C-alpha cells in the first residue's frame, strides 16, 4: 500500500514540474496571462523565498528544512501505513509539495510560481504549494476526527 501513496506523490511532483515547464516556456518572466477572467491568471514569477517572499534568498534554510520534512514524512509513512487514510494521504501530499519545490530550488535556485488569484490578494503560487496546503488540511481533518473519535471512545479516524 505504501507504493500507492508514493506513486501519488510522484505523479503530483510530475504534474508540478510539467506546469512549471509550460509556464516558463510560454510566458515571459513577469508577464501575466488571463486564465479565468476575474478569478485567476498565470504569471511567470521567480520566488527565492516562501509565501509572501518570506525568508527570501535563504536557500540553505529551505534545503535543510525540506530534507528534514521529507525524511520525517517518509519515516511516518512507513511506520503508519495502515493508519488513517486522511493522515496518509495528507502526508503523501505534503511529500509531493515539498519535493516539487525542492527540485526547483536545487535545479534553478528559485521556485517557479504561476497561479495568481484575482478575486483576493494572495501570493502567487504553484501546484506544489497547492498540494502541500491540501495535505496539511487533510492532516488537520485527521487530527480533528481522531480527537472526536477519542472523545467518543472509538479507535480513531479512518
Bigger pLDDT: 126 or 58? 126
**Catalytic hit among 16, 104, 113, 146:** 113
The 3-state DSSP class for residue 123 equals coil
- Tell me whether residue 146 is one of the annotated catalytic residues: no
Bigger pLDDT: 52 or 92? 92
> Rounded CA gap, 48 and 57, in Å?
5
Query: Hey, where are the domains in the chain?
Result: 1-146
**Catalytic hit among 16, 104, 129, 146:** 129
- Is residue 54 over pLDDT 90? no
Residue-wise pLDDT tens digits, 105-132: 999 999 999 999 988 888 899 999 999 9
**pTM recorded for the entire structure:** 0.86
Amino acid at each position: 500500500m505504501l507504493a500507492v501513496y508514493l506513486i501519488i506523490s510522484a505523479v503530483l511532483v510530475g504534474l508540478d514540474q510539467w506546469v512549471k515547464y509550460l509556464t516558463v516556456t510560454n510566458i515571459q518572466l513577469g508577464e501575466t496571462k488571463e486564465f479565468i477572467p476575474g478569478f485567476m491568471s498565470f504569471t511567470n514569477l521567480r520566488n527565492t523565498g516562501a509565501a509572501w517572499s518570506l525568508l527570501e534568498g535563504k536557500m540553505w534554510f529551505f534545503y535543510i528544512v525540506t530534507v528534514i520534512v521529507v525524511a520525517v514524512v517518509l519515516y511516518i509513512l512507513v511506520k503508519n501505513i495502515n493508519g488513517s487514510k486522511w493522515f496518509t494521504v495528507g502526508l503523501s501530499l505534503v511529500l509531493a509539495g515539498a519535493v516539487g519545490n525542492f527540485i526547483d530550488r536545487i535545479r534553478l535556485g528559485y521556485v517557479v510560481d504561476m497561479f495568481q488569484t484575482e478575486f483576493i490578494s494572495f501570493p502567487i503560487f504553484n501546484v506544489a504549494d497547492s498540494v502541500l496546503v491540501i495535505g496539511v488540511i487533510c492532516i488537520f481533518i485527521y487530527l480533528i476526527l481522531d480527537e472526536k473519535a477519542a472523545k467518543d471512545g472509538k479507535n480513531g479516524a479512518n
